[in-house]
Amino acid sequence: MKIVVDAMGGDHAPQAVIAGVVDALKEFDVTIVLVGRTPDVEAELKKYQYPRDKVELIHADEVVGMDEPATNVIRKKRNSSITVGVNLLKDPQYHAFISAGNTGAVVAASTINLGMIPGVERPAIGLTIPTLKGFSFLIDVGANTDPKPQHLLQNAQMAAVYAREVLGLENPSVGLLNIGEESTKGTDFVKEIHKLLSEKVKNFTGNTEANEVYAGKSDCIICDGFVGNIVLKVSEGLMESVGALMKREIKKSPIAIFGAFLVKSKLADAKKKIDYSEYGGAPLLGVNGIVMISHGRSNPKAIKNAIRATMREVEHDIIKAMQKEISSAV
Amino acid sequence: MKIVVDAMGGDHAPQAVIAGVVDALKEFDVTIVLVGRTPDVEAELKKYQYPRDKVELIHADEVVGMDEPATNVIRKKRNSSITVGVNLLKDPQYHAFISAGNTGAVVAASTINLGMIPGVERPAIGLTIPTLKGFSFLIDVGANTDPKPQHLLQNAQMAAVYAREVLGLENPSVGLLNIGEESTKGTDFVKEIHKLLSEKVKNFTGNTEANEVYAGKSDCIICDGFVGNIVLKVSEGLMESVGALMKREIKKSPIAIFGAFLVKSKLADAKKKIDYSEYGGAPLLGVNGIVMISHGRSNPKAIKNAIRATMREVEHDIIKAMQKEISSAV
């Protein structure tokens, strides 16, 4: 299996990316194709021991900045690591592409260069989130912020396939993120989607309120890309702020500091369960190729785990499974 | 000062409400007017010692269920504790109304019976949230889920007054909740609001991303009622799930259990800072009267703190201050 990795993507690229790739090569049976400025990539690789026959380098002159408008990647930077990497997927020997770079640019480059799965109109970014029951799959967390109802139906269909094939959930339930349980709740837009999902999605279980997301009420949680992005980022920010607040309070008492020391390893276990870097990336669904978007702040562990999650998508031939689901549902 | 309290509102009414009222009477100089089924209220009051001259009872036959459609309170239950309580505010001797009951019913009854502040078209529910820097004021958390841009402008104007008068923040900053920093980010609707707030709100500081909310980036955070409700409930659910997860992990090790015991009091201090019941209720803004909505799960402490927050609104004559702000802004 050959996985293409954007060596230049992310806040800590290429260092964190290369370190994560080297770790992945030690653990998984995979060939990694690194796309980026070859001299920079080679300089980083030199720091490590790794199986040389499992790494290929492909040069790409340009780098898309994390805050550049996504359209730049299309109009100006045709030689960026993102565009070059995505385009490799047109050749069947390359199975998937991973980038921790500019999310908008990855979405735009993938959509334009790979096209969509027949029957899917817009791309969506999914996210595997930890819950008290295991995992749920939240979609969309930011690709399509002004969707039409049928886009969310298509997302629900793709999410069910992803949850079954990649997360291993049997007959996954599908819930609509809403502000109340009853079908009469929410905006006009959300009510329309409720109706559509009731009619067309097999295991639709109705509304999931936001306070039930992390309790694991439904396996797949459907929302528009604006709301999903807010959910993701509020969660990140809240965890950070609560962590900072706890540290601040604990530091006030030597006994509490000692207590915190004793409890540390178990808290680390808990933290591990809710840490994004444990799960790797967020799959870009709907495009006609396996594309994984990693967090811009990805550390080596996040990159390694993104590679593992992507391998699972390849092994389960997720694009074909989605094509089948979408075409049979029409 | 006379504050009207819905004795029948909330999951634990009338017990939790009466207990909170009794606590408030011990601490604050206030008269409480309890509205509800007098026999039930009297039976609860009998359990406590309290200054009898500081409590008035007003009978209301009916109770609105927590899950009843809000329109019931208007069409069918004209003698509910919510409607009777709200209507008391038409008499200037009653200064404010607090209910932990059905939120939709409180919003509907207040809007219809009290009318709106001139220049404000729709009610909004605000929420004081704890941040690393102190407090921010999030508005709207659920009253108006399909707002027009000018509604959010009016909310921003009211929020600035509330943050200044009640939270004591000097020249409060106003941020728009969005999925990116740049003014080009977000849905078409959000972009339109960005433009409007830039033009009309004095201390508008642009977009606040969801991960910056609890860091305290802006004093007031503006969003539509759907998104605000999601933010509120995701935060609640995440804190509960993380707490449950931490307990589960800690229980696996006797050393960690002992450590947790040592750290407990400081964690309680941290928890206190992020606990909703410490701040009481969520003010319903825009209606022509001081109305406070408490969480349905309010315990006595939450009720007591809601009374304290409401007293501050009365002391600062918040309705007049908002009228002034809105009329001078037009």
pLDDT at res. B278:
67
For residue A277, pLDDT over 70 is answered with no
pLDDT at res. A274:
64
The burial class, CB within 10 Å (0-12 / 13-18 / 19+), for B171 is exposed
β-pairing, A290-293 vs A96-99, is: parallel
Mean pLDDT of all residues in B37-42: 96
The pLDDT-based confidence of A250 (bands split at 50, 70, 90) is confident
Contact by Cβ (8 Å): A143, A125:
yes
pLDDT at res. B64:
92
Q: DSSP class of residue A167?
A: S
Q: Can you say whether the dihedral through the CA atoms of B111, B115, B116, B119 is positive or negative? A: positive
Contact by Cβ (8 Å): A282, A127:
yes
Mean pLDDT of all residues in A99-116: 95
Contact at CB, A241 and B145, closer than 8 angstroms: no
pLDDT at res. A275:
65
Which has the higher per-residue pLDDT, B255 or B317?
B317
Compute the distance between CA of residue A191 and CA of residue B284 in angstroms, rounded to an integer: 25
| Shortest distance, CA A242 to any CA of chain B (angstroms) | 8
Candidates B181, B184, B245, B255: best to mutate against A (most CBs of A within 10 A) is B245
The pLDDT-based confidence of A273 (bands split at 50, 70, 90) is low
pLDDT at res. B275:
65
Compute the distance between CA of residue A228 and CA of residue A282 in angstroms, rounded to an integer: 12
pLDDT at res. A240:
85
Contact by Cβ (8 Å): B63, B39:
no
Tell me the one-letter amino acid at A52.
R
Mean pLDDT of all residues in A20-47: 97
For residue A172, pLDDT over 80 is answered with yes
β-pairing, B282-285 vs B124-130, is: antiparallel
* Residues from chain B contacting residue A275 (CB–CB below 8 Å): none
Tell me the one-letter amino acid at B240.
E
Which has the higher per-residue pLDDT, B54 or A273?
B54
Instruction: Say whether B316 sits in a helix, a strand or coil.
Output: coil
pLDDT at res. A91:
97
Q: How far is CA B257 from CA A268, B74, B248, B253, in A?
A: 14, 52, 11, 6
- What confidence tens digit (pLDDT) does each residue in B292-305 have? 999 888 899 999 99
User: Among B131, B145, B274, whose Cβ lies nearest the Cβ of A186?
Assistant: B145
Asked if A145 has any chain B CB less than 8 Å from its own CB, the reply is yes
For residue A267, pLDDT over 80 is answered with no
Mean pLDDT of all residues in A220-231: 97
Contact at CB, A266 and B244, closer than 8 angstroms: no
Q: Could you give all domains of chain B from N- to C-terminal order, each with its CATH number?
A: 1-120+286-317 (3.40.718.10), 124-277 (3.40.718.10)
The pLDDT-based confidence of A243 (bands split at 50, 70, 90) is confident
For residue A72, pLDDT over 90 is answered with no
* H or E segment and range at residue B255: helix B254-274
Mean pLDDT of all residues in B145-154: 96
Compute the distance between CA of residue B97 and CA of residue B8 in angstroms, rounded to an integer: 13
* H or E segment and range at residue A292: strand A290-293
| Shortest distance, CA A283 to any CA of chain B (angstroms) | 19
For residue B47, pLDDT over 90 is answered with yes
Residue of A nearest to B132 (CA): A241
Contact at CB, B240 and A131, closer than 8 angstroms: no
- What confidence tens digit (pLDDT) does each residue in B217-232 have? 999 999 999 999 999 9
- Residue B183: closest CA among B170, B197, B172, B173: B197
* Residues from chain A contacting residue B127 (CB–CB below 8 Å): none
User: Among A188, A212, A233, whose Cβ lies nearest the Cβ of B210?
Assistant: A233
Contact by Cβ (8 Å): A190, A176:
yes
Q: Which two tokens stand for residue B192?
A: 């339109």
The pLDDT-based confidence of A201 (bands split at 50, 70, 90) is very high
For residue A31, pLDDT over 90 is answered with yes
- What confidence tens digit (pLDDT) does each residue in B83-112 have? 999 999 999 999 999 999 999 999 999 999
| Portion 236-295 of B in contact with A at CB < 8 A | 236-242, 244-246, 248-250, 252-253, 255-256, 258-267, 269-270, 273-274
For residue A90, pLDDT over 90 is answered with yes
* Residues from chain B contacting residue A274 (CB–CB below 8 Å): 242, 245
Contact at CB, A232 and B214, closer than 8 angstroms: no
User: Among B187, B236, B241, whose Cβ lies nearest the Cβ of A132?
Assistant: B241
Contact at CB, B226 and A186, closer than 8 angstroms: yes
* Residues from chain B contacting residue A249 (CB–CB below 8 Å): 266-267, 269-270, 273
- For B168: left if phi > 0, alpha if psi spans -120 to 50, otherwise beta; the answer is left
User: Among B184, B229, B267, whose Cβ lies nearest the Cβ of A246?
Assistant: B267
> Whole-angstrom distance between the N-terminal and C-terminal Cα of chain B?
32
Mean pLDDT of all residues in B126-153: 94
pLDDT more than 70, % of chain B? 96
Q: What is the mean pLDDT of chain B?
A: 92
Compute the distance between CA of residue A233 and CA of residue B212 in angstroms, rounded to an integer: 8
Mean pLDDT of all residues in B50-68: 93
Interior/surface letters A36-45, b for 16+ CB within 10 angstroms, e for the rest: bbeebbeebb
The three-state DSSP-derived secondary structure of B52-119 is HHHEEEEECCECCCCCCCCHHHHHCCCCEHHHHHHHHCCCCCCCEEEECCCHHHHHHHHHHHHCECCC
